[in-house]
Amino acid sequence: MESLCGIDEAGRGPLAGDLVMAGCILREEIEGLNDSKKLTAKRREELYEKIVSSSASYHIVKFSAQDIDNKGISQCLREGLREIISRVDAQSYLFDGNSNFGVANVETMIKADGKVPAVSAASILAKVTHDRDILELAKKYPHYQLQKHKGYGTKLHIEMIKKYGYSPIHRKSYKIKALQPTLF
């Protein structure tokens, strides 16, 4: 059987928190895998434990808001793909989406996280790790109410940034129209 390392990320779009990437080779079939965004948080947590205990190999990479601000999101994704390939020995690598960010030997497939079990597993590993980290950050920075929006650019989050300014976990390179100065 060919070993396929599925790769996905979580946290590409939020204004705060880490970008998390995961690569995973499944050793056996796991019932209920799907795109992490289509599963409840409870179901993702249940599947996370099954994936960790029954995968042949997996690796999780994180990039902080500072990494993203300094390198750019594309460079972080490129570095994450390279790190996963260096840590997870597979015959082939499949990344969810339409770009391999110039990394050789990485194939791509749009919506692979809902079609290919190994990519679904990686999607769940990345999303659960991202959300667990955000909930920890919510304790450290309670006034941003991260538990409600997971760092995404919701109206509430933007209002909290307006009120309290940026914190060390915010991506300052992400330009938010509502926070830009106007001429009038």
Closest alpha carbon to 33 in 80, 96, 76: 96
Kindly report the backbone phi and psi dihedral angles of residue 139, in degrees, each rounded to the nearest multiple of 5, phi listed first.
-70, -35
CATH of the domain at 175: 3.30.420.10
126-149-95 Cα angle (round to 5): 25
Cα 151 from Cα 65, distance rounded (Å) = 11
pLDDT value, residue 146? 96
pLDDT tens for the chain, 184 residues: list them: 569 999 999 999 999 999 999 999 999 999 999 999 999 999 999 999 999 998 999 999 999 999 999 999 999 999 999 999 999 999 999 999 999 999 999 999 999 999 999 999 999 999 999 999 999 999 999 999 999 999 999 999 999 999 999 999 999 998 887 677 666 5
The total domain count for the chain is 1
Residue 184 lies in a domain: no
Cβ(20)–Cβ(60) under 8 Å? yes
Cβ(29)–Cβ(158) under 8 Å? no
Query: What's the whole-model pTM score?
Result: 0.94
Cβ(44)–Cβ(163) under 8 Å? no
**Rounded (10°) CA dihedral 84, 15, 98, 46:** 60
Residue 50 lies in a domain: yes
Q: Give me the domain span that covers residue 80.
A: 4-179
pLDDT value, residue 183? 60
Closest alpha carbon to 169 in 134, 131, 130, 145: 134
A 10 A CB-CB count for 19 gives 24
